[in-house]
Amino acid sequence: MTFTTRLTRTLALCAPLLLPACSRGDAPPAAPAPEARETAAPAPPLAAGWTATDGIAAPESVYVDPASGFIFSSQIVGMPDGRDGNGRIVKMSGDGTIIAAEWVTGLNAPKGLRSHDGTLWTADLDEVIGIDIASGRIASRTTIAGALFLNDVATGPDGTVYVSDMMANRIYTVKNGAASVFAEGEQLEWPNGILVDGGRLIVGGWGKPKADFSTDVPGRLFALDLQTRQKTLITPKPFANIDGVELDGRGGYIVTDYLKGKVMQVSPAGEARDLRTFMPGTADLAFVAASRIAVVPHMNENRVAAYDLSDVLK
């Protein structure tokens, strides 16, 4: 069964306070916006062992914002290439509680998530969208001419946003509202997951895709130097249809294989091994090395779940 069929079948199953009177010229103290109060409050610590399904519809990415501790998840709510305006971002607590199922709405098919300096970035088909985390308002939109299928985002320490275009075999940069090509060509192995690690952009190759994502031709994990763009292989051989990529805190990486439903670890020497195996649809995960917790979007099952990987990590 193709990705399109699986997703279609899965989705088919889902169904004033009056201010007191003021004396002359005196204004009542302004109350902070509800969202600002929520964001200012400390988030519950990240925990494992929970599953969230309410308000979850085709979750493509999850991200734990290190500044606030909140979890954000992109919801496609339709087809991965659909321009239907149904896409949204969910805001969650570290214990899996849904704080706002419609924290940001009106998107199409949002995918990768990453924050920098109070802004949450996401890729939405041919746009890179910046969201103010404190208010939940969209702060910027950058349309990338010629983009086919923007997927994951990564941020550099200077605020540069990197975004993969899997179908176009291209990686762009976005800074100050301007987009440019960072790298392109078949040497990118149809890039999906990306992550800035020091002076390198870590890239998870999907392997040559079909429009319905049914291919099982795997890709490799490799690095592009941020200055020279030179490619260095991390895994010598193709091993997975790589979706999410995160640091493992041990010099290696945690990745997901979407089609095989796997969470995997890649050692600094490039050795890949399975950590957990689920149903197909393990998309762009979050991993917090300090707690050894992975938060996985099970895209085809309309759920997000958190797992303690302490017993299987090396």
Q: Could you report the per-residue pLDDT of 45-59, keeping only the tens digit for each?
A: 999 999 999 999 999
Stretch 174-191: mean pLDDT, rounded? 97
**For 238, what's the count of Cα atoms within 13 Å in the CB-facing half-sphere?**
14
pLDDT at 77 over 60: yes
Domain ranges of the chain: 41-308
Distance CA 230, CA 115 (A): 26
Distance CA 55, CA 37 (A): 22
Predicted pLDDT of residue 213: 77
Q: pLDDT by residue (tens digit) across 229-284? A: 999 999 999 999 999 999 999 999 999 999 999 999 999 999 999 999 999 999 99
Residue 42: the pLDDT is 62
The overall average pLDDT reported for the chain is 89
Sign of CA dihedral 115, 292, 62, 216: positive
The pLDDT of residue 198: 97
- In the chain, pLDDT over 70 holds for what percent of residues? 86
Confidence band, pLDDT 50/70/90 cuts, at residue 4: very low
Provide the pLDDT confidence category of residue 209 given band limits of 50, 70 and 90: confident
- Given a cut of 60, whether residue 31 has pLDDT beyond it is no
Residues 6 or more apart whose CB falls under 8 angstroms from that of 66 comprise 115
**pLDDT interval class at 15 (50, 70, 90):** very low
Q: Which CATH number fits domain 41-308: 2.120.10.30, 3.40.50.720, 3.40.50.300, 2.30.30.90?
A: 2.120.10.30
pLDDT of residue 36: 39
**Is the pLDDT reported for residue 22 higher than 90?**
no
Q: What is the 3-state secondary structure (H, E, C) of the chain?
A: CCHHHHHHHHHHCCCCCCCCCCCCCCCCCCCCCHHHHHHHCCCCCCCCCCEECCCCCCEEEEEECCCCCCEEEEECCCCCCCCCCCEEEEEECCCCCEEEEEEEEEECCEEEEEEECCEEEEEEECEEEEEECCCCEEEEEEECCCCCCEEEEEECCCCCEEEEECCCCEEEEEECCEEEEEEECHHHCCEEEEEEECCEEEEEECCCCCCCCCCCCCECEEEEECCCCCEEECCCCCCECEEEEEECCCCCEEEEECCCCEEEEECCCCCEEEEEECCCCECECEEECCCCEEEEEEHHHCEEEEEECCCCCC
